[in-house]
């Protein structure tokens, strides 16, 4: 359930915008922050707040890489698979994560702790290979460091 307090907060954000739908990404992100992912209820609430149809919100939600329309783990691991990280051994890090977490790319661990998602360049190219766990960037990864980061996360 999306609480009334959050709805009010979001309605205030929409009022600040030059046109309501300008706030669409902010609203989707806040609803995602609340539920961990953008739930069906979240899409309905966003549509109501933004004056859009649920389908229009869906069109936006499925466009953005970092809006999740399926449940994800407590922490989402985004591993960069673009060129700078690739040439510094990014594929090895993906192998390590798959093995360690026991999931394929896109999957969530059985304990619900982690979701593993390969992603586009994270803008940390000088320090490849790079991954983002939650909001935190980790660069110059080695397979050993990946283990440490997972344990600490």
| Binding residues for another protein (CB under 8 A) | 18-26, 28-29, 50, 59-60, 63-67, 78, 81-84, 86-88, 119-128, 132, 135, 137
Residue 37 near residue 71, CB atoms below 8 Å: yes
Half-sphere exposure of 21 (CA within 13 A, CB side): 10
In the complex, minimum distance from the CB of residue 140 to another protein, in angstroms, rounded to a whole number: 10
- Complex with another protein: residue 121 or 153, whichever CB lies closer: 121
Tokens 């069109």, located at residue: 59
- When the beta carbons of 2 and 125 are compared against another protein, the nearer one is 125
Cα–Cα distance, 139 to 150 (Å, whole number):
14
Q: How far is the CB of 101 from another protein (least distance, A)?
A: 21
Nearest to 65 by CA among 27, 34, 29, 39: 29
Output the smallest distance, CB 131 to another protein, in A.
11
Cβ closer to another protein: 77 or 88?
Answer: 88
């Amino acid at each position: 359930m999306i609480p009334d307090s959050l709805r009010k907060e979001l309605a205030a954000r929409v009022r600040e915008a030059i046109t309501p739908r300008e706030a669409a990404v902010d609203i989707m992100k806040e609803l995602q922050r609340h539920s961990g992912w953008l739930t069906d209820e979240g899409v309905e609430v966003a549509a109501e707040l933004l004056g859009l149809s649920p389908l229009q919100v869906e069109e936006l939600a499925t466009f953005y890489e970092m809006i999740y329309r399926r449940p994800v783990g407590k922490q989402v691991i985004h591993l960069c698979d673009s060129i700078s990280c690739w040439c510094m051994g990014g594929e090895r890090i993906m192998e390590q994560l798959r093995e360690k977490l026991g999931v394929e790319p896109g999957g969530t661990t059985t304990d619900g702790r982690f979701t593993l998602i390969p992603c586009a360049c994270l803008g940390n190219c000088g320090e490849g290979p790079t991954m983002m766990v939650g909001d935190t960037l980790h660069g110059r990864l080695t397979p050993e460091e990946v283990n440490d980061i997972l344990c600490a996360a």
